[in-house]
Structure 1
Amino acid sequence: MERKRIALVAHDARKGDLITWIGAHIQFLAGHAFWATGTTGSRVKGAHPELDVTPLKSGPLGGDQQIGAMIAEGRIDMLIFFVDPMTAQPHDVDVKALTRLATLYNIPMACNEATADMLVASPLFSNGYTPRPTDFRGYEGRVL
């Protein structure tokens, strides 16, 4: 099994849902490496000490941007981000930037439980999957 590098993020109202989801899928997730925004990472470590979780800064204090940088550097393979669509987020621009980077760099991203379920249940999760790298040559070589 290829060890995946997985980023975990959850808005406050969804942190408990993420903890529960991890518990329900621990057989798929054990053995992988995780990075998580501050409080999310602390809660995941407390609930699932068997997982290799590295907490970063809290999302509003730059944790979303830390994960975004890791995505841009090719150090994250998957983003699990349990979003609360019913609550305005004071750092919404950071959230949008993070999801934009996951899309731009073509990494799998789940923003809800159903999609996260499908990601970890896919044979590609356990059998290895390398997304096609995004080709930025046209963009980088453009003349303004």
Structure 2
Amino acid sequence: MNIALIAHDKKKDDMIKLATAYKTILESHTLFATGTTGKRIIEETGLDVHRFKSGPLGGDQQIGAYISDNKMDLVIFLRDPLTSQPHEPDISALLRLSDVYEIPLATNAGTAEVLLRGLDAGFYEWRDLYRGKGREDLPL
């Protein structure tokens, strides 16, 4: 599975804790992250992560493009809802694309834990049906 890991500045420590706690699950998947989040995950967990640009510099849009091309299977986006973000339209677009393309999305550590445990239990085989197809070809 292709998994995106994104965290706002005030949530990066939480992402590191999550990635550390679930390293054994994450290491068997292909990981993608926005710039600084990816750098910290690599440095602090040793996980292999493909890094996109920083969120404000287009990283959220790059992940959104992967979603719209059906190349992303799960998104963990630890958002800071109490701090204004300069790239809020990009964030909203990423969340909207996750809904449009039915990509499981966690915006907090509690939901991320449930999704990662579900992934480990094998509850995402349905994504195999979607991968490689355009939106118009997806089963309803």
Name the TM-score, length of structure 2 as normaliser: 0.87
Q: 2:55 matched to 1:59?
A: yes
Q: Secondary structure at the match of 2:6?
A: strand
Q: Secondary structure at the match of 1:88?
A: coil
Of residues 19, 23, 28, the one that matches 2:20 is 23
Q: 2:79 matched to 1:83?
A: yes
* Structure 1 residues without counterparts, runs of 5 or longer: 138-144
Equivalent residues in 2 for 1:33-48 (5 A)? 33-48=30-45
Q: Deviations over 1:95-124 (max 9, x none)?
A: 0000110111001110001100111112x5
Of residues 99, 102, 105, the one that matches 2:98 is 102
- Aligned-pair distance for 1:125? 4.1
Q: Deviation above 6 Å: which 4+ runs of structure 1? A: none
* Structure 2 residues without counterparts, runs of 5 or longer: none
Larger radius of gyration: 1
Q: How many Å separate the matches in 2 of 1:16 and 1:39?
A: 12
Q: 2:118 matched to 1:118?
A: no
Q: Secondary structure at the match of 2:126?
A: coil
- Aligned-pair distance for 1:136? 3.9
- Whether the aligned pair in 2 keeps the contact of 1:32 and 1:52 (CA below 8 Å) is no
Q: How many Å separate the matches in 1 of 2:111 and 2:9?
A: 19
- Whether the aligned pair in 1 keeps the contact of 2:101 and 2:135 (CA below 8 Å) is no
Q: How many residues align?
A: 132
Q: Deviations over 1:30-68 (max 9, x none)?
A: 22111111111111111111x220111010000000000
Considering only aligned residues, what root-mean-square deviation do their CA atoms show, in Å?
1.7
Q: 2:70 matched to 1:69?
A: no
| Structure in which a larger fraction of residues adopt helix | 2
- Whether the aligned pair in 1 keeps the contact of 2:78 and 2:109 (CA below 8 Å) is yes
